[in-house]
């Protein structure tokens, strides 16, 4: 059997692969849109003067980071629906439960990691920057907007981009609960076509191309907006 | 929940052992530790190549590290699952498959830790060693690496936590590590999935959180002894 990638990239097999690829991208984008605001809230909790909020933020981050993503998927897909009231559970099963549970698990997991990046980004701006801005007559919000946040963004974005790369790779684990993303479709094509080498080569390439794209965006950003010495 | 633990704790910890193969939490630990122990020499070699002055070492290893880091671990596991039997000529157990995938994957990640460790040692150290008449190899093994490895210790603990979490992917190829055993227990009990998976999550949490805390304590103890910071008599007096 000669090696021929076109077999798994055309016709019905090609359609499955494309659907999986698009769902993986969709999962990444939706999770990113939900995880970043959540991470910001958790980071602000961790920096809060209130001990209760700080404790809650710490528990969220450590509790989630120290459990494998696979177990998050198993819990949210097989375990959590049992705890839901009847109506909500039925709604879930009527609305693509695999994708919803995958987004929940990925969002919580990604947010726990991003929260730490946002926190250290905010902390990287020395307090005298804010004090100096206030002394020059800027209001609190104006000093935040014009002095602190622009500097913090330069520090925070590169690690957030590398978390996005992890997120992209992590979507593959959703295959355990049957979310029809790229890895799931690859297994399906492999089983139907008996073309293991071709299927996995095409899938690896698809993952790599997006990974390279994300890495390049990160490098471009760092070149265009380098961290300035404070 | 108490009844659940009471009935299944032994199965959860060791799988079917001693009547059958070892599994459960014990297998997770063995796999995680073995994978990291074998990935260390690989990571060291790859890291040395990455930090080398010779392009014929630096470039191919750089490409390998880049490809592995841009690919999901699950993809590497599937490659190992389908192609190890073809390469070795006989059937490969799930344990060997997982071990091979984890060693390659972690080797690539450790290479970057090793490279950063080597490049984190001030260049004056190499220059001094070379000026004293040591060869590149002697300077690397007697002067640079011992310091770099000590600075890397906290990252290595972090890597062990990551590896233990990664062993859970053995579930997908049917390796009877603790996640797989938990799903088996869930299939037998049927009515308590939330409890079963919560116990599984708590088990991983206790293990990984404890290890990360130990790693952080180690980092604190080692900081201040890192190279480049030569304690002056004045600083010691203070």
Q: A135-189, pLDDT tens digit by residue?
A: 999 998 898 889 888 898 999 999 999 999 999 999 999 999 999 999 999 999 9
pLDDT value of residue A230 = 55
Is the CB of B79 less than 8 angstroms away from the CB of A200? Answer: yes
Distance CA B156, CA A168 (A): 24
Q: How far apart are CA A67 and CA A56, in angstroms?
A: 17
Topology adopted by domain B2-224: MetI-like fold (1.10.3720)
Strand partners, B214: none
Which token pair is B163?
């590896």
Mean pLDDT of B104-117: 94
Indicate the domain borders of chain B: 2-224
Q: Does A211 touch chain B (CB under 8 A)?
A: yes
Which residue in chain B is spatially nearest to A201 when comparing CA positions? B79
Q: Is the pLDDT of residue A48 over 70?
A: yes
Distance from CA of B113 to the nearest CA of A (A): 16
Residue A115 has pLDDT above 70, yes or no: yes
User: Do the Cβ atoms of B71 and A204 come within 8 Å?
Assistant: yes
Helix ranges (H only) for B15-93 are: 24-50, 55-69, 73-88
Q: How does pLDDT run across B23-58, given as a tens digit for each residue? A: 999 999 999 999 999 999 999 999 999 998 899 999
- For A159-162, which contacts have Cβ atoms below 8 Å and span 24 or more sequence positions? A159/A117, A159/A120, A159/A121, A160/A36, A160/A114, A160/A117, A160/A118, A161/A214, A161/A217, A161/A218, A161/A221, A162/A218
For residues B7 and B198, give the distance between their C-alpha atoms in angstroms, rounded to a whole number: 16
Q: Which residue's entry shows tokens 């059937």?
A: B91
**pLDDT-derived band at B150, boundaries 50, 70, 90:** confident
For residue B168, give the nearest of A63, A68, A170 by CB distance: A68
Instruction: Quickly count: other Cβ atoms within 10 Å of residue B82's Cβ.
Output: 16
Q: Which domains are present in chain A?
A: 6-224 (1.10.3720.10)
Q: Which residues contact A194 (CB under 8 A, 6 or more apart)?
A: none
Res B230 pLDDT > 50: no
- Closest CA–CA distance from residue B168 to any residue of chain A (Å): 7
């Amino acid at each position: 059997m000669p090696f021929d990638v076109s077999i798994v990239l055309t016709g019905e097999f090609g359609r499955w692969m494309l659907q999986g690829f698009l769902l993986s991208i969709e999962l990444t984008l939706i999770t990113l849109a939900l995880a970043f605001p959540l991470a910001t809230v958790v980071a602000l909790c961790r920096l809060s003067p209130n001990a209760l909020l700080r404790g809650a933020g710490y528990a969220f981050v450590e509790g989630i980071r120290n459990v494998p993503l696979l177990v998050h998927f198993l819990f949210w897909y097989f375990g959590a629906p049992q705890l839901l009231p009847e109506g909500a559970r039925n709604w879930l099963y009527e609305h693509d439960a695999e994708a919803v549970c995958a987004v929940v698990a990925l969002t919580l997991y990604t947010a726990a990691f991003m929260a730490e990046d946002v926190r250290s980004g905010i902390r990287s701006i020395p307090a005298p920057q804010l004090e100096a801005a206030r002394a020059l007559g800027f209001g609190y919000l104006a000093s935040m907007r014009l002095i602190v946040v622009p500097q913090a963004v330069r520090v925070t974005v590169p690690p957030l981009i590398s978390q996005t790369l992890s997120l992209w790779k992590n979507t593959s684990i959703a295959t355990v609960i049957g979310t029809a993303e790229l890895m799931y479709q690859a297994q399906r094509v492999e089983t139907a076509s008996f073309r293991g080498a071709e299927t996995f080569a095409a899938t690896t390439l698809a993952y790599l191309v997006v990974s390279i794209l994300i890495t390049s965006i990160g490098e471009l950003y760092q070149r265009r907006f380098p961290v300035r010495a404070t | 929940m108490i009844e659940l633990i009471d009935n299944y704790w032994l199965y959860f910890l060791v799988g079917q052992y001693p009547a059958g193969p070892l599994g459960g939490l014990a297998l997770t630990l063995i796999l995680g530790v073995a994978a990291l122990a074998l990935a260390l020499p690989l990571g060291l070699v790859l890291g040395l190549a990455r930090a080398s002055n010779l392009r014929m070492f630096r470039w191919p290893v750089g490409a390998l590290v880049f490809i592995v880091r841009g690919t999901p671990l699950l993809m590497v596991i599937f490659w190992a699952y389908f192609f190890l039997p073809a390469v070795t000529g006989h059937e490969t157990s799930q344990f060997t498959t997982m071990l091979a995938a984890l060693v390659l994957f972690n080797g690539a990640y450790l290479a970057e830790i090793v490279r950063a460790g080597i490049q984190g040692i001030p260049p004056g150290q190499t220059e001094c060693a070379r000026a004293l008449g040591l060869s590149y190899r002697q300077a690397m093994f007697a002067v640079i690496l011992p310091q770099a490895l000590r600075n890397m210790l906290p990252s290595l603990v972090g890597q062990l936590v990551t590896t233990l979490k990664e062993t859970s992917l053995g579930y997908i190829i049917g390796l009877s590590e603790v996640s797989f055993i938990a799903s088996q227990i869930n299939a037998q009990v049927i009515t308590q999935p939330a409890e079963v998976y919560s116990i599984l999550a708590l088990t991983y949490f206790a293990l990984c959180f404890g290890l990360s805390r130990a790693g952080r304590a180690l980092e604190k103890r080692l900081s201040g002894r890192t190279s480049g910071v030569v304690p002056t008599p004045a600083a010691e007096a203070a």
